[in-house]
Amino acid sequence: MHGGDPTVDPSQRLKALRSVLAEHGLAAYLVPHADQHQNEYLTPRNERLAWISGFSGSAGLAVVGLEAAALFVDGRYTLQARDQADPKHWQHLHITTDPVELWLKRHVSAGDAVGFDPRLHTPGGLARLRTVLENSGITLKAVDGNLIDPVWTDRPEQAPAPVTIYDLTFAGEASRDKRQRMADALTEDGLDAVVISAPDNLAWLFNIRGADVDMTPSVFAYAILKSDARAALFIDKAKLGADVRAEIEAQGEGAVTVFDPDQFAGALTDLGDLGVRVDSATANVFIVDTLTAVGAKVDVGADPCTLAKARKNPVELQGIRNAHVRDGVALARFFNWFAQTQPGQETEWTAAQKIDGLRAEGEHYRSLSFPTISGAGENGAIVHYKVEQATARSLGPDEM
């Protein structure tokens, strides 16, 4: 069950989590909108923030204390958060003007501990919070295992989504050539390896695509690339058909080796004494702490894949142009259709269904990149408005 279910008493979820906090000796617990790869869009299984608060936006943070709870969002979600997270149980605060650390200083005493899941936070994301709390005598404590999970009794399962090879006719560069370029970059920086934790970087490097998250061709996995261009890919093997796995591993003798995800932590411990780059934006605290504990020389910086991925080759550039032409055709067809409708004849929902259907007819279409924002009248003021069929507004004149 996710946030927004009117049949669920939100106080019972808070009560259950607070019981777990007490068992762990914690005064509060951080619940970010995040997964272990720092994705913006989450699978239902990872929607912990929505489950505990009711808020279903794509960015935010909850803090649950033993007596009080607060939900922090930015200006995009002010209206949505107040509508979804019951003010009887949640304080609603702007994450910039009334930041998390100030709320914790008001509600947590010196000597207490604030817990967090190290797989859902980056070191940079916690740096300021850690400094402020420690200056107030409050400990920020990493907790093994997420404390939401044992009380979320009907947490959805994550079915393995099949991985496909991204064809060279679209990628424009073979995976083995990309790996060699990234390995050369490591050597130039005097490093021995890089941990790749961002799903988009991993998809680019190995020329693979997946469907672990709706509307995003992400592949949930980790990789370790060495300066000799050999790579270890940690991925659920149920996602890999025999032909796909053969294609991934047939990149030169031993160049890519596929491992199960539960072998990733052990592989990190094998990097002791090596210089290892971890990405400042996507590497979670668990990765950094594990490497540090075994004596690795952790270099927190940019995954070299990030800039390389942004520099599009001629094949990719032409692919972008072609995609915009196809989408422009779909939009032109939609505008022509809409011009022939009468005021009140269509709704936000039917308009969204129409444009979505026209886009789906295009060559190479896979999915939308986000739900179509179709808002009329007062709904147009909601920045990330998501139309629902049951509540869709009729499209009247002069209010688009």
In this predicted structure, what is the pLDDT of residue 273?
93
Write out the DSSP string of 310-378: HS--HHHHHHHHHHHHHHHHHHHHHHHHHHTSPTTTSBHHHHHHHHHHHHHTSTT----SS------GG
pLDDT at 128: 87
The structural domains of the chain, with segments of one domain joined by +, span 10-142, 164-310, 314-391
Equal fold, 10-142 vs 164-310: yes
Q: What is the mean pLDDT of each run of 10 residues along the chain (400 residues)?
A: 53 95 97 93 94 92 96 90 93 92 94 97 91 94 96 92 96 96 96 97 96 90 96 96 90 80 97 96 95 97 96 98 97 96 93 97 92 91 86 86
Architecture of the domain whose range is 164-310:
3-Layer(aba) Sandwich (3.40)
Q: What is the pTM of this model?
A: 0.88
pLDDT of residue 122: 93
Residues 6+ apart with CB under 8 A from 262: none
Whole-number pLDDT of residue 1: 35
| pLDDT at residue 250, rounded to an integer | 76
With respect to CATH, is domain 10-142 assigned 3.40.50.150? no
Pairing of strands 164-165, 208-209: antiparallel
pLDDT of residue 4: 43
Name the DSSP class of 37: T
- The pLDDT, as a whole number, for residue 274 is 97
Contacts of 61 (CB under 8 A, 6+ apart): 30, 31, 32, 33, 49, 71, 72, 95, 100
Q: What's the confidence (pLDDT) of residue 252?
A: 59
> β-pairing, 275-279 with 193-196?
parallel
Alpha helices in the chain (DSSP H): 10-23, 48-53, 78-84, 100-107, 123-135, 168-171, 175-188, 199-206, 242-249, 264-269, 285-293, 304-310, 314-339, 348-360
